[in-house]
Structure 1
Amino acid sequence: MAVRELRRLPRPHRFDVYIAVGGLLGGLLLVAVGLNTRPAKDPITLFEGPWPMLVPLVVMSGCELLRRTAPRTALLTGTVAVSADALTQGSLATLLMFTDVMYAAVLYGPLASARRIQWITGLLTVAGTLVPFAVWRTPEVLLIGVVVGVGAYGPAATGWLVRNHRDVAEAARLRAEQTALLAEMDRAQAVTSERARMARELHDMVANHLSAIAIHSTAALSIDDPATSQQALKTIRENSVEGLAEMRRLIGILRDGGGDKEPAATPTLDGLAALVEGSRANGLDVGLDDGLDDGLDKGLDDGLDKGLDDGLDKGRGGDRGPVPTPVELAAYRIVQESLTNALKHACPGRVTVRLARRDGMLDVRVSSPYGHRDGPRAPGSGAGLVGMRERTALLGGTFAAGPEGEWWTVRAVLPLTEAVPAPAPVSEES
């Protein structure tokens, strides 16, 4: 392990260089003034004089250079140096630098090594306390365990505590960064969701009027008939006024900071009669089959608002409970966009709108003649189908749109109870 550390050894940290130079100069100063840890006549002193103390001192100073970049190598080399220093008169600077190397080995070394150092120094402290006392039976020998504990276990325990605090601080920093990242992701998702919602509302409120304007203006330009042109211009003006009113209402909501609310006068199923009548005024043959009940069918087929209101009241309320407001809005917008698409793309023929309530679901189905169209056609962007699919997915329902024989059918099944939203499937071109 120590060899692998030396192979990838980077440059010493600047602070470690300061410690090494300071420890070396301090040790040389202590040797110069003759301040040693043991007297020359001590029984364990094998090498007397100042010069033998310089070798462990210089080696330990070199270990300080490796305290951060190669902590295990520094500790192993430092242990040899401090053992050699024990055979001399002893330098206090060497002992102090060894405690720092022990501390750095636990703080900067691998986690497994730090744990092993804790156990080893703890066992040495206990052995240094009990074994000498068991052999000599004198209280003074207990100081050996104290010296071992202060010089080895104390720095190791301090390094372990500092390492734990550092890891806790790093974990807190990472959690803070993750929290900030999640908050930013939530903000971006909220912005994207709001933009998509406003795009759906803008498209659904204005596209129907603009499509009618495009078709009738094309007819007015292509047919040389004053009466036809007059009727087309009248229809164009009506749709322009209504579209402008819708735009102003939406812009007012945005300027007033009401982005978290639905547009004013949120449409419901009560407005289907006016919606169908508007489509008929634009030249679309619209009828309704198998509605919520007979009252709803009669109301739409006869064009009577009272019949529609009675039918909706029975279909939405009564014993079966009301239709939730989000479901009403989605159903209205889906019918509105389907009629707009039929006005732009459908062949001549009758367009049928069907609303049925069964098994806790509201089934919305709009069918229009499918095939080649000879008359004026307004361009499509595919945004309408995307919006209908998104509205259905947000309520946890299912959506499908496509040709069925000679008919183009749009069908949405919306749950009347709270459901988990499903991912929106891939959109189709309108």
Structure 2
Amino acid sequence: MMKRSAQALRALPGILRKDLLTLEADPNGQAGQPRWLEWRPVIMVPLVMLAVVMLIVGTNQYAFEFGMGIQLGILFAGIQSGAFLVAVYRPVPAWWASMAGMVMVTPFATNAGSWDRIPWDGAYPWSGAGIAMHAGVLLLLALRVRPRIAVETLTITVLLGLACGASTPWRSAHDIRLAIAVLVVTVVVGGALRGLVVVRTKLVVQEELTAEERSRRTLLEERNRIARELHDVVAHHMSVVSIQAQVVPHLVENPSDELRENVEGIRRNAVDALTELRRVLGVLRSEDPLPQAARHAPQPTLERLDELIGNARGAGVDVTAETTGEPRPLSPGVELSAFRIVQEALSNAMRHAPGARVRVEVGHRSSGVTVRITNTAPVRPAPPTTGVGHGLLGMRERAAMLGGELATGPTPDGGYEVTAILPARPTAGPAGPDGPTGPAGPIDPADSADPAEDTR
């Protein structure tokens, strides 16, 4: 304990020099700075008026109560009032200026005898106005610096005040305890207010980090879901390729060795590819909360669209459907993505537009398929939702993955529209640093920044 105390005492001069011998506006950086600093030019107007009033009152007290005369009274009152204004921009230098004014008062003050007439005009070495101005300086300082610096300035202020007060033979007539109490309360209040600002700032930063992490987690969860579904589709087709390659030699009379070798190579490559696919995506399956039977169920296609719409109608939603064009063969990924986009859009309509009419349009073209889901304005307020939804994010991911396009947004009648254009065969979109990109650029969770999209 003694050794630690000795080390602390040896380090004290260096700490005080670092903390107090500075001309910086913000000795502890921008952390915990109050918002009112942004309005300093406006705040200075009432502060200047207050400083002028205190200058007049302080001049009168120094000149007549302290017996200094007008010139010295204006000088010392001006130093303290000016330090109060400077503290808005440079709190530590302003505190030094106010302290200098306090110390310089001591050799010029005389006992004019007026203390008996006025119950309390000050506590030597401060006048009443001097205490107010110095308390204001300490308040502005405590609002902007670390608590350690505020305690250091308060301690030095009290010690010097006691030393200056002890230098006069008539000090017993003036109780400095009230001045010390005012200064201590001022620093405590300033430190507490700054502490609230620091805590709120940290909370805001933490909320921003949490929201960003939630968005990233939402994106990863949706990509994992898409990966699981595509795994099922690709694994099925790779298995079919392997089986067909194995059967080919039995369908040809007297197959040549070259044919057998090539077919065996196809089968072997298909098996190897399937093995690698299962190895890479096996971790996704291990974390899948679905039952075993549901995990291996066939992935839905547009042929099951009537079943999906029937379920929505059974839930009380007024849904109409229309299919145009001649259906053409689509890749399994396109079929799955088109079905999932319609499914997500219907879910969003039921969740966010209670009582609205929904229309589903599927247009087949030679180049691909277009799905358009629109709903009218809700007839009653939607129940509140919690968290960040996956709907629009997943739709964008699916469309971008296939090289398609997705457009979402409100309609003029107060409803909402989702339109997806998917190619008949997936096209490899340019891969960005964070994943696939669509025609409009990288998929970014911030695209769902407005509240209406975050919960859809």
Given the two structures, how large is their TM-score scaled by the length of structure 2?
0.40
Larger C-alpha radius of gyration, 1 or 2? 1
TM-score normalised to the size of structure 1?
0.43
